[in-house]
């Protein structure tokens, strides 16, 4: 008789960031995570995380709504069910609840962590095994001040902590953003890849002008320049410029990926376990993208260590990460709630070892930062 799910707890955790993190739609000074703790009848615990950016400014799920969804709707459907029946439980949740992929991602992560601990296998082994143990990670320069960003980029390059940088733009006039980005690229030169994330802030004509300027400045990638569901604009821009576009908010799941690829999009896709509904679902998006010849990038919703590690286990199984990853979320937080933080070095991060996710909650830190 296999163990069944005994209890599920969803905990809101608020951790300050090391600096204000500016996006086109919000500025963050605190990151709120929903930590899921799932116990089975043998006493094993699986953990998961759901995190979003800037409350409801980014998307339809907030940390508070994720907790409500798990407590009120998901837990009653899962309690007493076999803990290792991950596919069956996913079908059960999908039949009962549309969308809510952030909440589903935290649950799928906890189920995988639980299964990994039961089998004494790391999570990536459940996904076919890691191809790489060290994964490249970029850093976002988001102070908004050009010289501050240049100084930060040069310091991180010297420390060999990051050699790829992303800039959040779109909240200022176009040419102000272009001058800011071009100055940073000129300062770091060929030592670093510089990309931009517009977070859907431009219309198509603004994007066309912006991409022409950014292409001339030597920028490597433009993330989601136009509104998320304006697929025709993304396709036209991708075909107009040799500067590649990274689709992010446009693609949540494998169905979105198929729709965009079949419309003629060429470029890259930001994979995110939160958007897709969990690590297994994010890898389905990767399969469709790979079949269409679209580049892969390991994206983040600025998760803490638990959500970042779940993503890393998935990204480690991919043949090629054409554009690396941005799993720097834990570095943006002033503190951590796990016993052993991730090891960032050599322009990337080491995949944790040990069963399941390979991370353990620090109970004192969790108690300190949990919302009461």
Instruction: Spot the catalytic one: 168, 185, 272, 275.
Output: 168
* 3-class DSSP state of 319: coil
- Nearest Cα to 83, choosing from 120, 116, 50, 51? 116
- Nearest Cα to 363, choosing from 20, 24, 47? 47
223 tagged catalytic: no
Beta-carbon contacts of residue 137 (< 8 Å; ≥ 6 apart): 162, 164, 324, 325, 326, 327, 328, 344, 347, 348, 349
Task: Find the helix packing angle between 279-291 and 101-119, rounded to 10°.
Answer: 110
Instruction: Spot the catalytic one: 61, 108, 303, 326.
Output: 326
Name the DSSP letter for residue 73: I
C-alpha distances out from residue 36 to 42, 61, 108, 225, Å: 18, 16, 10, 33
Q: Is the separation of the CB atoms in 215 and 233 below 8 Å?
A: no
353 tagged catalytic: no
Which pLDDT tens digits describe the chain residue by residue (372 residues)? 689 999 999 999 999 998 776 665 667 789 999 999 999 999 999 999 999 987 787 789 999 999 999 999 999 999 999 999 999 999 999 999 999 999 999 999 999 999 999 999 999 999 999 999 999 999 999 888 999 999 999 999 999 999 999 999 998 999 999 999 999 999 999 999 999 999 999 999 999 999 999 999 999 999 999 999 899 999 999 999 999 999 999 999 999 999 999 999 999 999 999 999 999 999 999 999 999 999 999 999 999 999 999 999 999 999 999 999 999 999 999 999 999 999 999 999 999 999 999 999 999 999 999 998
Structural domains in the chain, CATH included, are 5-120+363-369 (3.30.390.10), 126-350 (3.20.20.120)
| CA gap 210, 220 in Å, rounded | 13
Locus of tokens 């300190």: 368
């Amino acid at each position: 008789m296999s163990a069944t799910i005994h209890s599920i707890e969803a905990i809101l955790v608020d951790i300050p960031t090391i600096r204000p993190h500016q996006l086109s739609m919000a500025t963050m000074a605190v990151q709120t995570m929903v930590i899921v703790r799932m116990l089975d009848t043998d006493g094993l615990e699986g953990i998961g995380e759901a995190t979003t950016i800037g409350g409801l400014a980014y998307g339809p799920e907030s940390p508070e709504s994720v907790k409500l969804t798990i407590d009120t709707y998901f837990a009653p459907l899962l309690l007493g069910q076999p803990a290792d029946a991950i596919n069956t439980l996913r079908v059960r949740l999908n039949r009962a609840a549309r969308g809510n992929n952030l909440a589903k991602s935290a649950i799928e992560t906890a189920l995988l962590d639980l299964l990994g601990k039961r089998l004494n296998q790391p999570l990536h082994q459940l996904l076919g095994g890691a191809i790489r143990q060290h994964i490249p990670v970029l850093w976002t320069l988001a102070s908004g001040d050009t010289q501050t960003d240049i100084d930060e980029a040069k310091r991180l390059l010297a420390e060999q902590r990051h050699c790829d940088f992303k800039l959040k733009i779109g909240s200022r006039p176009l040419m102000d953003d272009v001058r800011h980005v071009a100055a940073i690229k000129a300062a770091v030169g060929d030592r670093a890849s510089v990309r931009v994330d517009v977070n859907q802030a431009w219309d198509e004509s603004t994007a066309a002008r912006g991409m022409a300027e950014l292409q001339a400045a030597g920028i490597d990638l433009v993330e989601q320049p136009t509104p998320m569901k304006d697929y025709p604009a993304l396709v036209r821009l991708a075909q107009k410029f040799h500067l590649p576009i990274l689709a992010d908010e446009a693609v949540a799941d494998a169905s979105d990926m198929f729709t965009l690829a079949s419309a003629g999009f060429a470029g890259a896709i930001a994979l995110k376990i939160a958007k897709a509904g969990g690590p297994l679902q994010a890898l389905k998006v990767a399969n469709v993208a790979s079949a269409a010849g679209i580049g892969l990038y390991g994206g983040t919703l600025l998760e803490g260590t638990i959500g970042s590690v779940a993503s890393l286990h998935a990204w480690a199984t991919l043949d090629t990460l054409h554009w690396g990853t941005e799993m720097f979320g834990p570095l943006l937080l002033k503190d951590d709630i796990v016993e052993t933080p991730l090891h960032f070095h050599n322009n990337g991060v080491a995949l944790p070892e040990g069963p399941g996710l390979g991370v353990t909650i620090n109970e004192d830190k969790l108690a300190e930062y949990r919302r009461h």
